[in-house]
Structure 1
């Protein structure tokens, strides 16, 4: 598997999900989770650098019309949802963010990869990867949302952990496993 800029972007957001939503682990657990997330990110960066050296390019993805439309809708949905959740149900903010990001991956699987350099590197496996992570994120977002709805405002840390932290962990595992394989090749 070749690693491109899209893998670095995913890694950045996965680490962010872990760092911001690991509060239920306590201070020591939070620090351990952050350190492990940073180690995982370093492995992905090394795999990217190895891929880049082999390709002789940065491996930038094509910003097609579909990509721009999907990301624009995502940004608008994030901003509106964060404002609404912040005012009405703050415990649903993280699940909302994860839901929107998960749905954006599902949209990528359908409309973006065909004909892009990312798809050329990963074939339809790129679309399959978007489907898997989008599906998992959507399920975790719904689970966190259910926790938030049933538990009310006091459930915010649990809802954030279920939707945010677990999403970050899943994303990092999904990135690190092929990164280790790339480094071994």
Structure 2
């Protein structure tokens, strides 16, 4: 559910800078509600969470989340100091994507490689475009990242996958 909430926040935040704010935010809320509903139905049908992940996987998770938080804060401050505030949101997208990559091996879930790789590409492209002054590059990167997270989480819940310590929405 963490990934779905993060996806909705990406869309909510990014939509404020785009012309179609209301319907984008409504779509994010609808996808979040669908994901939560699918998760509740799927978990009830599965009858529990299954086997706990190995300690090494949980360590990988902990380090990845910690390094992500540090990289977001340090990077955001650096971009602002360089007078490149428009790069901050794409930077966050890139770092969030990178934090998923170690999960693929740790949890034996290749979905994290695909999701992480997609977010790294979207964030990187958005950062370059925003740095070059392309007007809507940052909010578009945030919007695409949010929709990718929401779609990935919803798909995982509907299919009944539970790859990480917080489910597919890690």
TM-score range, shorter chain: 0.7 to 0.9
The answer to whether the aligner puts 1:102 opposite 2:97 as a matched pair is: yes
Mapped to 1, the partners of 2:25 and 2:147 lie a distance apart of: 11
The answer to whether the aligner puts 1:91 opposite 2:86 as a matched pair is: yes
Cα RMSD after superposing both structures: 2.2
CA offset digits 1:73-118 (Å, max 9, x no partner) = 11111111111112211111011101111111112223x214xxxx
Q: Post-superposition, which runs of at least 4 consecutive aligned residues in structure 1 deviate over 3 A?
A: 55-63, 177-182
Three-state SS of the structure 2 residue aligned to 1:57 is: coil
Cα offset, 1:171, TM superposition: 1.8
**Between Structure 1 and Structure 2, how many residues are aligned?**
156
Contact 1:10/1:171 (<8 A) preserved: yes
Q: Could you tell me which runs of 5 or more consecutive residues in structure 2 were left unpaired when the two chains were aligned.
A: 161-170
Mapped to 2, the partners of 1:148 and 1:82 lie a distance apart of: 14
Length-normalised TM-score, structure 1: 0.75
Match of 1:135 among 101, 105, 117: 117
- The structure carrying a bigger helix percent of its residues is 1
Contact 1:95/1:164 (<8 A) preserved: yes
Alignment CA distance shift 1:68-1:20 (3 Å): same
Contact 1:43/1:180 (<8 A) preserved: no
